[in-house]
Structure 1
């Protein structure tokens, strides 16, 4: 497949026009340098002494009304919904997926329609634009071979990972373009990314094709449900019990709307309430009377 054929295969994505800047390099050069000195830290939660039943932290939300948007309303296009959703459902983790075609061609590409949905067994989902009859290269490889690796993207190789989003022909090896290092996997054929601090070997469990609501004959996407069958983690990023990763060392990158990525450099903690303990408090009892 040549790049010229791309609009025919992925009409939605070619209508999106993610880059809002006529001259991106000019805009980026006017911004401050990347703050490498900024590292993970904890702060207090926004309102440390929040009281049960008190709702939002302030009343500023009352200054604005909510408007209803029908995703299938007249004049509403799939591109509109796409832009709304990727800028609203944020931040999204990025699944950096390595696959091998049935003909032996390697592929490496990032996807932010990705998440963890279960731990026993470890289950992940990846969503792809395009149906089974017209899939993205990664999706086609997964459907054909039922194997892949999923790699978490960290700050130290985000540029290389982003380059793998290029709309290259199916016979192009993105590993070579990115300069990233392949490591052999144990239970699947696709290699995992050496630079990634956490990688998952996965096998396809099931897939589902989505059809357009406006034209039910047109497939618009494919969902792949994947079981994680092996993990690879950098030794300095995980604790001695091999169960918790250090966020300060992982430095994960997430996806926002448009062409925007996000860092994870600050957080706050708050324990979950225990109902049996909370219900003993008069202020909680009064709210439920």
Structure 2
């Protein structure tokens, strides 16, 4: 349920970022080609299959441009400048679609691209939030207060619904209802996981850390939550018989780029990890590079 008396919060940089770069997004979108639903996952060769050790980049285009140095804490550098640059450079980013329940029982569902996997034994994930613990985002508030959540991977077949969950709604708004997505009961934590998601993680908070501004250390700017995965849910048709590899062609994961841009994962290439004994020690032409 929505608390009609509470205004939507604007966290930190969000009040400074123009989320929609287009005056009329639907008009711009209509001018673009339709979504290519017939594209299926496939493998390509690497960019240069003939690359040899010691030869560096596979083309020299990089040499036509110089690098410029940017001090993130320079006098004329604004935090919003760093934000825009980082989310457009650190790409693609996986999206953690997080389900939580508040201490009062209200449900929340929201996507976050300050998210990744950092360990496997135990399974450890991190989720970053704008704003400090004293004024947390709804998802962060629920995690800090209850210690529980589910993390769901977003796939192409429900990306519009997931995106609608990032609206700046008042605390208590039920994004499950706004998106039309389906909650499934979890086993070890209270928050539901997303039925439409092909891979979901039940998680518990094991540590949190608050970040403060370099310019004003008294001003909190963000919160990091470290999460232990305590249970997995995976759709039966996307995982192999050994239950240890998810088929990316069926998962169709969506990632985050800069601005309001999302990315598909439709092709890739394989590169075996070099073996030092075989690929260096046993090859004089490579060993001589050292």
Task: Find runs of 4+ consecutive structure 1 residues off by over 3 angstroms.
Answer: 1-5
- Relative to structure 1, the CA distance from residue 201 to residue 129 in structure 2 (aligned partners, 3 Å threshold; closer, same or farther) is same
Q: Deviations over 1:168-213 (max 9, x none)?
A: 1111100000000000000000000000000000000000000000
Deviation at 1:11, TM superposition (A): 3.2
Deviation at 1:5, TM superposition (A): 5.0
Task: Identify the residue that residue 188 of structure 2 maps to in structure 1.
Answer: 187
Choose which of 6, 9, 16 in structure 2 pairs with 1:6: 9
Task: Identify the residue that residue 271 of structure 1 maps to in structure 2.
Answer: 272
Task: Identify the residue that residue 170 of structure 1 maps to in structure 2.
Answer: 171
- Kept after mapping to 2: 8 A contact 1:3/1:168: no
Deviation at 1:6, TM superposition (A): 2.1
**What's the TM-score, normalizing by structure 1?**
0.97
**What's the TM-score, normalizing by structure 2?**
0.97
Deviation at 1:4, TM superposition (A): 4.0
State how far apart, in whole Å, the 1-side matches of 2:103 and 2:7 are: 24
Q: RMSD of the alignment, in Å?
A: 1.0
Task: Identify the residue that residue 127 of structure 2 maps to in structure 1.
Answer: 126
Report matched runs for 1:84-233 at 5 Å. Answer: 84-233=85-234
Report matched runs for 1:2-81 at 5 Å. Answer: 4-7=7-10, 10-81=11-82
- Relative to structure 1, the CA distance from residue 188 to residue 159 in structure 2 (aligned partners, 3 Å threshold; closer, same or farther) is same
The runs of 5 or more residues in structure 2 that have no matched partner are: none
State how far apart, in whole Å, the 2-side matches of 1:4 and 1:192 are: 27
Task: Identify the residue that residue 287 of structure 2 maps to in structure 1.
Answer: 285
Q: What secondary structure does 1:62 align onto?
A: helix
The runs of 5 or more residues in structure 1 that have no matched partner are: none
State how far apart, in whole Å, the 1-side matches of 2:178 and 2:85 are: 31
Q: Deviations over 1:19-58 (max 9, x none)?
A: 2111111100000000000110001000001010000011
State how far apart, in whole Å, the 2-side matches of 1:20 and 1:235 are: 40
- Kept after mapping to 1: 8 A contact 2:12/2:221: no
State how far apart, in whole Å, the 1-side matches of 2:41 and 2:6 are: 40
- Kept after mapping to 2: 8 A contact 1:204/1:227: yes
Deviation at 1:3, TM superposition (A): 6.8
